[in-house]
């Protein structure tokens, strides 16, 4: 199934002649109340760098749910430096718990081609730095639900870069109730500087496993 | 015997042979038509029994204008609009209207009265914006003057005059007076690099004296232009003491606001449709037969050799339609989130155009208090984030009025308001308005805020071209990619102006018309 899915996504990316028509991953028509998600995050939630809205397609349901709750609870999108998060926060604030469950189901059901790599870095150095990350996020970057660590693959690299910086400088993971965020904030300190963050992101770009 | 041919008759002959643009050119040459700048309406030829399918993406005014023009020439047009509303950034808010902002749905709580409306998008029509005025004339949309500049309005700057508001009349007159005095002194001392003849010198001194209302010895001692301190009708008018020149300089008002209404597009007079800018949209809709699909969100745009294919979602289903040509006014910054097979450079250029963050607030005031302060229309300016307040021109001396309570040109100000919720925005605007009009907040009955970068299916206004990008890439986006035309104010040198939208639509239609005429000629030749 996974292989089929990858092949399908590749076909999807290459065979532009047949947009949104993939044998296995049919385009998902968003429920009316979630159409607005696609205004910023793009068709099939493929992401839109101009709005700084990351690709969400196929994110794990549990993680989407947790993130929407984090936004709703004000753990995300309320820090004075988190300007992009603040754009998102009001959208999550209006969702009921049931909406969040449905939104997470919708997001995880959507597929799109893998995002393009846009960030250069020293992949080898990134690989050695990733040794710390793999304990939670898995050696293929696929995430480990039991540890609450989301997949790192399938995300826009510019989004990974921004969030890692946010964790490192405390823009994200500083809210006292955000326990998972605090864990990651501590872990991000392992990356000494911006170059190290770029190198890790460049390495994660090579882990196309989803 | 041959009758002498009148110039008017001659023009009719030219028109029959060469179409309206030939009339225009010839008329200009004969001095019969006013030269207010060429109105470059596309002279689209009817296609007769041929058929051509046109897909129009977006029901902003450029999309509406394309449907209006092309359906009259035999084209089969369909407009596909993502939102539930027609009109794009022509948005007039009245009682009960919904503001479809992401995360913050607002309902406009103005009273239900014809003069209580707020133009939250386009608001001003200068006399040289020929396309929009052409449509107002043709579609019978009545216009009225819109007061865009008022000497009795205020300028308020936290850095000058202890933050007190000062009448624009006083500030501008005194600033000019002081500058004129400096000029006068410079002429007196012959401080110019160029030698001045005696005649030049005298004229320049006279110019400075008149320009600044100086005394006979070239000093500025105040002017009635700044307004009287007292009297002036049944007693002697006492003119005001001039303001402190260093305070004038400390204020930022001179940086551009003082000269704002001298701008090419802002100079008085400007106009507005009677009853709201969206009367233009209504007039188009009334006169368009082509289907306008709302709630139809485009998913993919595929260029083909012989046309353009568009996939959109509508009522829970996905549809695919093809057209011979496609006219697209979807905001450029949203296209990066829509599947397409645009050529590489075209797509890359679209992906460089960032969105703007213009922001407006409308406030219903229970009393037109500004009219008691001698202000009838126009703009007061402030260094605070609201930047400006507008006094409505329409409904003078009626009970209530809708003011513009904020219009941010600076991006950081717009983004600051975006981060607030609607209630906080109104509270901030009221607190800032108090600095200009004490008691301001006590008049506020209802408020709406429109942050264009958070509006559903819009997410920005206006398109952030810079000179360099415009110089190198504008033509690339103005030209079609295959049979696909980008258009709208975003593809004009007047981004953020309605005129730019029509001008760009006509530019695109003119180009398509030449191609279609060539296709039809080829079909006739082979057929």
pLDDT of chain B, 527 residues: tens digit per residue? 444 455 455 445 545 544 455 544 544 454 444 445 678 799 999 999 999 999 999 999 999 999 999 999 999 999 999 999 999 999 999 999 999 999 999 999 999 999 999 999 999 999 999 999 999 999 999 999 999 999 999 999 999 999 999 999 999 999 999 999 999 999 988 777 777 889 999 999 999 999 999 999 999 999 999 999 999 999 999 999 999 999 999 999 999 899 999 999 999 999 999 999 999 999 999 999 999 999 999 999 999 999 999 999 999 999 999 999 999 999 999 999 999 999 999 999 999 999 999 999 999 999 999 999 999 999 999 999 999 999 999 999 999 999 999 999 999 999 999 999 999 999 999 999 999 999 999 999 999 999 999 999 999 999 999 889 999 999 999 999 999 999 999 999 999 999 999 999 999 999 999 999 999 999 999 87
Place of tokens 């051509």: B52
Q: Residue A208 above 80 pLDDT? A: no
Place of tokens 């300190």: A189
Which residues of chain A does B419 touch, with a Cβ-Cβ cutoff of 8 Å? 83, 86
Mean pLDDT of A197-201: 98
Mutate to test the interface with A, among B302, B334, B337 (most CBs of A within 10 A): B337
Q: Please report the beta strands in B245-340, taking only residues with DSSP state E, as ranges in sequence order.
A: 270-273, 292-293, 296-304, 307-314, 317-323, 325-328, 339-340
Mean pLDDT of A49-61: 96
Determine the Cα–Cα distance for residues A64 and A106; give it in Å rounded to an integer.
Answer: 10
Q: A152-183 burial string, b = 16+ CB within 10 Å, else e?
A: bbbbbbbbbbbbbbbbbeebbbbbeebebbbb
Q: Would you state the pLDDT for residue A22?
A: 41
Give every CB contact of residue B76 below 8 A, 6+ residues apart in sequence.
Answer: B51, B52, B53, B54, B290
Q: Do A50 and B318 touch (CB under 8 A)?
A: no
Determine the Cα–Cα distance for residues B391 and B400; give it in Å rounded to an integer.
Answer: 11
Instruction: Please tell me which of the candidates B333, B339, B415 has its beta carbon nearest to residue A50.
Output: B333
Q: Which of B451, B450, B448 is nearest to B402 (CA)?
A: B448
Instruction: Indicate the Cα dihedral angle B463, B468, B473, B478, nearest 10°.
Output: 50
Q: Would you state the pLDDT for residue B189?
A: 84
Coil, strand, or helix at residue B240?
coil
Phi-psi region of B71 (alpha: psi -120 to 50; beta: other; left: phi over 0): alpha
Q: Would you state the pLDDT for residue B25?
A: 53
Q: Do B336 and A49 touch (CB under 8 A)?
A: yes
Q: Would you state the pLDDT for residue B441?
A: 98
Q: Would you state the pLDDT for residue B33?
A: 44
Q: Please report the beta strands in A66-208, taking only residues with DSSP state E, as ranges in sequence order.
A: none
Give the strand order in the sheet containing B339-340: B317-323, B307-314, B296-304, B339-340
Q: Which of B91, B138, B113 is nearest to B278 (CA)?
A: B91
Report the greatest alpha carbon distance in chain B. 89
Backbone angles phi, psi at B54, to 5 degrees: -120, 125
Q: Do B351 and A49 touch (CB under 8 A)?
A: yes
- What are the tens digits of pLDDT across the range A69-92? 999 999 999 999 999 999 999 999
Query: What does the block give as tokens for B107?
Result: 């309902």
Q: Do A35 and B300 touch (CB under 8 A)?
A: no
β-bridge partners, B464? B354
Q: Which of B82, B81, B54 is nearest to B68 (CA)?
A: B54
Say if residues B318 and A29 touch (Cβ distance below 8 Å). yes
A169-to-A77, A82, A149, A184, B378 alpha-carbon distances in Å: 15, 11, 20, 11, 46
Distance from CA of A89 to the nearest CA of B (A): 8
Distance from CA of B341 to the nearest CA of A (A): 7
Stated as kind and residue range, the H or E segment containing B448 is strand B444-451
B188 or A148: which leads in pLDDT: A148
Burial of B76 (0-12, 13-18, 19+ CB in 10 A): middle
Distance from CA of B337 to the nearest CA of A (A): 4
Assembly ipTM: 0.88
Q: Do A51 and B459 touch (CB under 8 A)?
A: yes
Place of tokens 């009817």: B46
Say if residues B71 and B94 touch (Cβ distance below 8 Å). no
Please give the residue of chain A at the shortest CA–CA distance from B351.
A50
Say if residues B337 and A112 touch (Cβ distance below 8 Å). no
State yes or no: cis peptide before A93, omega within 30 of 0: no
State whether residue A15 sits within 8 Å of chain B by CB: no
Q: Do B302 and A86 touch (CB under 8 A)?
A: no
pTM of the complete model: 0.90
Q: Count Cα neighbours of B205 within 13 Å in the Cβ-side half-sphere.
A: 17
Give every CB contact of residue B344 below 8 A, 6+ residues apart in sequence.
Answer: none
Determine the Cα–Cα distance for residues B292 and A50; give it in Å rounded to an integer.
Answer: 28
Instruction: Please tell me which of the candidates B336, B339, B351 has its beta carbon nearest to residue A20.
Output: B339
Which residues of chain B does A42 touch, with a Cβ-Cβ cutoff of 8 Å? 336-338
**B154-156/B166-167 β-pairing:** antiparallel
State whether residue A49 sits within 8 Å of chain B by CB: yes
**Range with lowest mean pLDDT among A64-68, A198-202, B195-199, B279-283:** B195-199
Q: Do A20 and B318 touch (CB under 8 A)?
A: yes
CB atoms within 10 A of CB A203: 22
**B339-340/B354-355 β-pairing:** unpaired
State whether residue A17 sits within 8 Å of chain B by CB: yes
Q: Would you state the pLDDT for residue B74?
A: 98
Query: What does the block give as tokens for B426?
Result: 């109104």
Determine the Cα–Cα distance for residues B71 and B75; give it in Å rounded to an integer.
Answer: 5
Q: Would you state the pLDDT for residue A2?
A: 43
Determine the Cα–Cα distance for residues A156 and A159; give it in Å rounded to an integer.
Answer: 5
Stated as kind and residue range, the H or E segment containing B279 is helix B279-286
Mean pLDDT of A175-192: 95
Q: Which of B405, B372, B377, B388 is nearest to B165 (CA)?
A: B388
Determine the Cα–Cα distance for residues B261 and B252; give it in Å rounded to an integer.
Answer: 16
Q: Would you state the pLDDT for residue B191?
A: 78
Q: Do A36 and B317 touch (CB under 8 A)?
A: no
State whether residue B348 sits within 8 Å of chain A by CB: no
Q: Would you state the pLDDT for residue A4?
A: 46
Q: Do A50 and B421 touch (CB under 8 A)?
A: no
Stated as kind and residue range, the H or E segment containing B146 is strand B143-146
Task: Please give the DSSP secondary-structure letter assigned to residue B394.
Answer: T
Helices A61-72 and A97-109 sit at what angle, rounded to 10 degrees?
140
Which residues of chain B does A158 touch, with a Cβ-Cβ cutoff of 8 Å? none
């Amino acid at each position: 199934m996974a292989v089929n899915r990858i092949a399908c996504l590749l076909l999807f990316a290459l065979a532009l002649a047949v947009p949104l028509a993939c044998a296995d991953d049919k385009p998902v028509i968003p429920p009316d109340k979630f159409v607005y998600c696609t205004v910023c995050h793009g068709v099939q939630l493929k992401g839109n760098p101009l709005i700084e809205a990351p690709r969400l397609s196929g994110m794990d349901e549990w993680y989407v749910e947790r993130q929407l709750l984090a936004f709703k609870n004000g753990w995300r999108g309320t820090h004075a430096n988190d300007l992009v998060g603040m754009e998102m926060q009001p959208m999550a604030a209006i969702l009921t718990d049931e909406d969040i469950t449905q939104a997470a189901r919708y997001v995880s059901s959507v597929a799109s081609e893998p995002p393009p790599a846009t960030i250069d870095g020293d992949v080898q150095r990134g690989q050695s730095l990733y040794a710390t990350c793999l304990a939670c996020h898995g050696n293929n970057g696929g995430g480990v639900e039991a540890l609450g660590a989301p997949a790192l693959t399938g995300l826009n690299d510019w989004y990974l870069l921004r969030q890692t910086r946010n964790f490192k400088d405390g823009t994200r993971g500083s809210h006292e109730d955000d326990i998972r965020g605090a864990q990651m904030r501590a872990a991000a300190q392992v990356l000494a500087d911006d170059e190290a963050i770029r190198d890790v992101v460049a390495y994660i770009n090579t882990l196309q496993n989803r | 015997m041959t009758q002498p041919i009148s110039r008017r008759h001659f023009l009719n002959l030219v028109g029959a042979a060469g179409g309206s643009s030939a009339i225009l050119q010839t008329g200009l040459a004969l001095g019969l038509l006013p030269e207010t700048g060429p109105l470059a309406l596309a002279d689209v030829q009817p296609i007769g029994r041929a058929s051509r399918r046109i897909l129009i993406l977006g029901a902003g005014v450029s999309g509406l204008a394309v449907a209006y023009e092309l359906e009259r020439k035999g084209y089969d047009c369909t407009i596909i609009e993502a939102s539930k509303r027609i009109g794009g950034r022509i948005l007039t808010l009245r009682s009960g209207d919904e503001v479809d902002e992401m995360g913050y749905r607002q309902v406009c709580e103005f009273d239900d009265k014809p003069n209580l409306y707020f133009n939250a998008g386009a608001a001003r029509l200068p006399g040289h914006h020929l396309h929009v005025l052409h449509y107002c004339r043709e579609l019978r949309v009545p216009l009225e003057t819109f007061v865009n500049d008022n000497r009795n309005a205020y300028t308020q700057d936290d850095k000058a005059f202890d933050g007190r508001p000062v009448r624009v009349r006083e500030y501008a007159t005194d600033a000019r007076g002081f500058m004129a005095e400096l000029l006068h002194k410079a002429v007196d001392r012959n401080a110019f690099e160029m030698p001045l003849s005696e005649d030049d010198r005298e004229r320049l001194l006279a110019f400075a004296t008149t320009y600044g209302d100086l005394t006979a010895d070239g000093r500025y001692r105040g002017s009635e232009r700044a307004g009287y301190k007292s009297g002036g009708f049944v007693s002697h008018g006492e003119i005001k003491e001039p303001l402190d020149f260093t305070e004038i300089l400390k204020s930022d008002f001179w940086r551009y606001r003082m000269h704002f209404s001298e701008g090419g597009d802002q100079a008085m007079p400007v106009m507005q449709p009677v009853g709201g800018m969206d009367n233009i949209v209504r007039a188009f809709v009334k006169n368009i037969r082509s289907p306008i699909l709302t709630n139809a969100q485009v998913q993919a745009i595929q260029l083909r050799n012989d046309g353009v294919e568009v996939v959109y979602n509508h009522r829970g289903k996905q549809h695919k339609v093809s057209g011979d040509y496609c006219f697209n006014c979807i905001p450029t910054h949203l296209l990066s989130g829509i599947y397409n097979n645009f050529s590489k450079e075209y797509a890359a250029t679209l992906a460089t155009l960032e969105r703007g963050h213009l922001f407006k607030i409308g406030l219903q005031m229970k009393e037109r208090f500004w009219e008691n302060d001698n202000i009838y229309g126009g703009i007061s300016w402030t260094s605070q984030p609201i930047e400006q307040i507008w006094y409505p021109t329409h409904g003078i001396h009626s009970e209530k009025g809708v003011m513009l309570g904020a219009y941010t040109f600076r991006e950081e100000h717009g983004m600051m308001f975006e981060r607030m919720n609607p209630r906080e925005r109104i509270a901030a605007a009221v607190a800032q308005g108090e600095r200009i009009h004490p008691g301001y907040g006590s008049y506020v009955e209802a408020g709406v805020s429109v942050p264009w970068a958070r509006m559903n299916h819009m997410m920005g206004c206006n398109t952030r071209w810079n000179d360099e990008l415009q110089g190198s890439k504008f033509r690339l986006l103005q030209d079609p990619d295959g049979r696909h035309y980008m258009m709208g104010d975003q593809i004009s040198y007047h981004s953020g102006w309605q005129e730019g939208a029509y001008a760009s639509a006509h530019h695109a239609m003119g180009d398509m018309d030449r191609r279609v005429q060539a296709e039809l000629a080829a079909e006739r030749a082979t057929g």
